[in-house]
Amino acid sequence: MKSWPSPSLPSPVSTTPTTVNAHDTARDRVVPVGTESGTARLYVCGITPYDATHMGHAFTYVTFDLLNRAWRDAGLQVSYTQNVTDVDDPLLERATATGVDWADLAEEQTDLFREDMTALRVIPPERYVGAVEAIPEVGTLVERLAKAGYVYQVDDEYRDWYFTTTRAAGFGEVSSYDRATMLDVFAERGGDPDRTGKRDPLDCLVWRLEREGEPAWESPLGRGRPGWHIECTAIALETLGESFDVQGGGTDLLFPHHEMSAAEAVAATGEPFAKAYVHVAMVGLDGEKMSKSKGNLVLVSRLREQGVDPMAIRLVLLGHHHLTEWSWTSADLDANVARLASWRAAVSGATSVDAEETVRAVRAAVADDLHADRALEVIDGWAAASSQASSDEPGARQTVRDLVDGLLGVAL
Ligand code: 5CA
Ligand code: ZN
């Protein structure tokens, strides 16, 4: 397991029990997520470390950080696993194109990602697991699927292993896509519908046998490396068990990634993979999805180098609801630099108004499908009223500081 130093953990814990609700893509409605007591289990798909963290990644991880904080604030323990896809085609291609060693590139970009997340005050996952270190678990899972008759080797030059996706119970229930849509999206997002020797175009790769010049590891399946979806299935089942609470990632992962991972888990265990699937809308720049492959990136690390306060970046991200697509603009950043300054002035000013209703409204907004956007407006209201107040309400400024720090993750 890769290490990720833990910063301070959130302080406020609600005295009235709160149920956290979030939009589940599979049911297409807002549902309670987590448990009533005990431990909530979260898996969030991590980065493929071949380039620096951009605002799209940051939006995804800050959104799940908000869920993590909301659960903790509701008095739950949180067991959170995130993977890092430290061996995969795009990473190997970038390493070859730039003439660097793929493992060095992965390590360097993973370190930068953790630095960016720490700056944004994202609480580290309890377990941060690389695809490479999960290879034994992937081998065990593929063997388990083989025994149950769900995997086969293609009849082709390289006899790679494939999963019979469409035979798994419940396949299609995460995305609700029809077959034609699945085939289109699969081809667009790294799938190989036309691969020779497959039984069904939607079957997905679980173990790729060694090719010359590519890294490979020993396995009962032959020397090779894991397919993408099975990486997350194996890591999630190993670290969180069956039917964990929330599987998270961006909407670009809904199909095929989350659909295929869920199908593999159901085929192996007979139980649902996750209880709910929470997806974060895509962040764009100038009308196009921000992506490493397109190169239209606003990088967290570059803004930090330019001296932008990471808390202002965090406020920009919190100001957008996770179901709504949005584009990064400098005007949005400027507005949140000003917002941060006004909040800081209010918590260190000489006057304030009572914060009880503010605390209640912020908690309610976050527990209602992670509406931090509304929570920020509530704090704006308290800050404006406090700056105009004629007296100081004892404890109110510290209460708001703790709330904003613990639940929203913004240090004032
Ligand atoms: N390693 C896989 C997941 S197992 C992967 O998709 N890596 S990634 O580096 O491409 O993306 C990391 C995370 O950021 C994923 O959850 C992805 O859905 C999310 N993401 C990527 N681009 C954006 C974007 N423009 N807006 C919002 N989220 C994004
Ligand atoms: Zn994943």
- Which of 45, 82, 328 to probe ligand 1 with, by most ligand atoms within 8 A of CB? 45
Ligand nearest to the CA of 236: 2
In a domain, 5, yes or no: no
Virtual torsion, Cα 324, 327, 333, 336, nearest 10 deg: -10
* Residues 33-64 pLDDT 10s: 999 889 999 999 999 999 999 999 999 999 99
Q: Is residue 383 part of a domain?
A: no
- Cα 246 to Cα 122, 192, 227, 228, 379: the distances in Å are 18, 28, 22, 19, 28
pTM above 0.95, yes or no: yes
DSSP code for 175: T
Residue pLDDT, tens place only, 264-323: 999 999 999 999 999 999 999 988 889 877 888 999 999 999 999 999 999 999 999 999
C-alpha dist (Å) from residue 205 to 133, 165, 270: 19, 10, 21
Which atom of ligand 1 lies nearest, measured to the CA of 232? 4
Ligand 1 pocket, residue 83 CB under 6 Å = yes
Instruction: Evaluate whether residue 375 is within a structural domain.
Output: no
Q: Is residue 401 in a domain?
A: no
| 141 lies in some domain | yes
The rounded Å distance from CA 239 to ligand 1 centre is 21
Neighbours of ion ligand 2 (CB under 5 A): 45, 232
Query: pLDDT grade, residue 15 (50/70/90)?
Result: low
Q: Give residue-wise pLDDT tens across range 155-178.
A: 999 999 999 999 999 999 999 999
Residue 12 has pLDDT above 60, yes or no: no
Mind listing the pLDDT tens digit for each residue in 71-113? 999 999 999 999 999 999 999 999 999 999 999 999 999 999 9
Q: What is the pLDDT of residue 14?
A: 66
* CATH of residue 36: 3.40.50.620
Answer whether residue 359 is part of any domain: no
254: in domain: yes
Which range marks the domain in which residue 142 is found?
Answer: 21-284
Mean per-residue pLDDT of the chain: 95
161 occurs within a structural domain: yes
Q: How many structural domains compose the chain?
A: 1
CA–centroid distance, residue 230 to ligand 2 (Å): 9
Dihedral sign of CA atoms 390, 396, 400, 401 in order: positive
Quick one: pLDDT at residue 48? 97
